[in-house]
Structure 1
Amino acid sequence: MGSFAALEALPVSGVPERWPALLVPGLTGSKEDFIAVLQTLAQAGRRVIAVDMRGQFETGGPDDPGAYTCAALGNDVDVLAHTIGGGEPVHLVGHSFGGLVTREAVIDGRTKFASYTLMSSGPGPIVGPRERAGRIMLAEIPERGLEYLWHNRMEPEALAAGVPDEIMTFLRKRLFSNSPVGMATMTGEVLSAPDRCEELIQVEVDLLVLYGEHDDGWPPEMQSDMARRLNAECVVVPGAVHSPAVEAPETTAAALTRFWNAAEARLLS
């Protein structure tokens, strides 16, 4: 399995009093996407850990495409949850493609999760402008590599959005640190993921669907419908787009903490 790069936050006291949480990022993201919420979440009394998935940024990975399927990455989540929990249930959050990965671990039933949150994720393949971008990535990465993707797609988009220089430097470093095989395979996965709501609803776990009101990945109405199908709680984050933990960290952290506390209260009652 190997080692995984992670960011960890603890309560100021250093002594967690509640069950821990594991946060899993999206396709082109990393553990740093959760920096703005980590300490706020930990202040509620938990150990909170965000990871880079296999082949992402500071976590290495092989040149085997089979290592980057949702099923293979979901197995990693199972192992990580067992390690982090140490026998206790773990709150699990999957952002975007990370939602497709983490639901594999929830559905396989090997790990008892304290709760499960799908953040800006969907029931099946991604759609809309991000689908189109994904198909371009899938075609370009094997033929032209990550450098072409950066210079011709990601850098111009970031510059147009006014991203500060220091963040640009980080984004470039992160992209070039990814496994090209991993990124290509994961892109194929997000474009072809099956709808697994009928399987997920069979699992006994508290579910939350959380997304930005202007999400440009899976449309808000699709995520709302998914929440209905799953009998899940649904939280819409005002002003946020596809990364609520970055774009509205206080609102996102408050929603997660409230949901986690309620889930623990039900499980312990």
Structure 2
Amino acid sequence: MTTFTASAPPPGARAYQLRTDRGDFAVVDAPAVPGIEQRGVALLLPGFTGSKEDFHRMHEPLAERGYRSIALDGRGQHESDGPAEDESAYAQGELARDVLAQAAALGSPLHLVGHSLGGQIARAAVLLDHSPFVSLTLIASGPAQISDSQQQRVKLLHDALAVMTMAEVWEAILAMGPPEEVGGPARGYGRVEQLRQRWLAHKPAQLLATGRQLCVEPNRVSELAAVPLPFHVLSGARDDTWPVTVLDDMAVQLRAHRTVVPSAEHSPNLDQPLPTAHALAGFWDKAGTAP
């Protein structure tokens, strides 16, 4: 397993391994600020090549609004273990069942949040069993497969992983200028060396399987619309993975609350963490605390 020196958790948060009946998952768990009304608990799922650190700058403002927030690395991501070569372990249904196991281990009704790929995994979990959840927020996560341009980038990654080491692929990604869904945004996360170490910690099979999922995901919005949960579709003002107009249409179909974060692109949680956190908290305030 690749050694990774993670950045320190945000103030008041702690990092640990969450034990579930489907294995252990690395989490950053930030409690609500003591002395104020405790309003709920949120589970935050990162995107493709992402990690729990992508939500670091949102924990504190969420805590100040009364929300405990738990961000995690999914199976085979960063500091959560998983098989290096068995792609079947990363089928969407398996990852969705992981989310239900995480919810069971946390033991609280949860506001579920997924960024990009994490949003599609969150959707799959809710379609399996919505009962642990109070609401679902999709951050820059569209109704079906990613855009043609991003599919080409994922194909390049797939081809590269077939003939190159993870370290060699990282150097190639940097040479291209890392796109959001392939290389991970450098801004807001830390030094390039930290990003490199995070990349090296990912399991190749996880990248191959989830990259393929992003390219073939069917449109399941009609199924999701039948689930009795409040929905929130949040995005930046620009997005080259799912066009903002596509996200607008999805929100209409879901009768979802819609937030567009100014001056943000595919990762509003990194680009504009404070307004993104406030938008989440505002939605949760209205959604309530009971499933």
TM-score by length of 1: 0.92
Q: Deviations over 1:164-222 (max 9, x none)?
A: 99520111000000001111111011111111001100100000000001112101011
Q: 2:270 aligns with which of 217, 229, 246?
A: 246
Q: Please give the secondary structure, in 2, of the residue aligned with 1:256.
A: helix
Q: Does 1:92 align with 2:116?
A: no
1:112 lines up with 2:132 in the alignment: yes
Structure 2 letter corresponding to 1:185: A
Question: Per residue, is there more helix in 1 or in 2?
Answer: 1
Distance 1:163 1:262 in 2: 31
Q: Which runs of no fewer than 5 residues in structure 2 stay unpaired?
A: 1-21, 179-184
Name 1:236's counterpart in structure 2. 260
1:153-172 CA-partner distances (Å, limit 9, x unpaired): 235515xx986995201110
Give how far 1:70 is off. Answer: 1.3
Residues 13 and 165 of structure 1, relative CA distance in 2, 3 Å threshold: closer
Structure 1 stretch 137-146 or stretch 243-252: which is displaced more? 137-146
Q: Does 1:66 align with 2:88?
A: yes
Q: Deviation of residue 11 (structure 1)?
A: 2.2
1:132 aligns with 2:155: no
- Bigger drift between 50-59 and 1-10 goes to 1-10
Which of 17, 27, 45 matches 1:6?
27
State whether structure 2 residue 168 is matched by structure 1 residue 148.
yes
CA contact (8 A) 2:116 2:140 kept: yes
What residue in structure 1 maps to residue 177 of structure 2? Answer: 157
Q: Distance in 2 between matches of 1:12 and 1:162?
A: 29
Q: Secondary structure of 1:211's partner?
A: strand
Helix, strand or coil for the counterpart of 1:138? helix
Q: How do residues 173-252 of structure 1 correspond to structure 2 at under 5 angstroms?
A: 173-252=197-276
Q: 1:226-262 deviations in whole A, cap 9, x for unaligned?
A: 1111111111111101100110111101100000010
Identity among equivalent positions (%) equals: 37
Unmatched runs of 5 consecutive residues or more in structure 1 = none
Tell me, in whole angstroms, the C-alpha distance in 2 between the residues paired with 1:130 and 1:33. Answer: 20
How far the C-alpha of 1:143 sits from its partner, in A, is: 2.5
Task: Give the Å deviation of 1:124.
Answer: 0.5
Q: Which has the higher strand share?
A: 2
Runs of 4+ in 1 over 3 A off after TM superposition: 161-166
- CA deviation after TM superposition for structure 1 residue 132, in Å: 1.7
Q: CA deviation at 1:128?
A: 3.8
SS in 2 for 1:3: strand
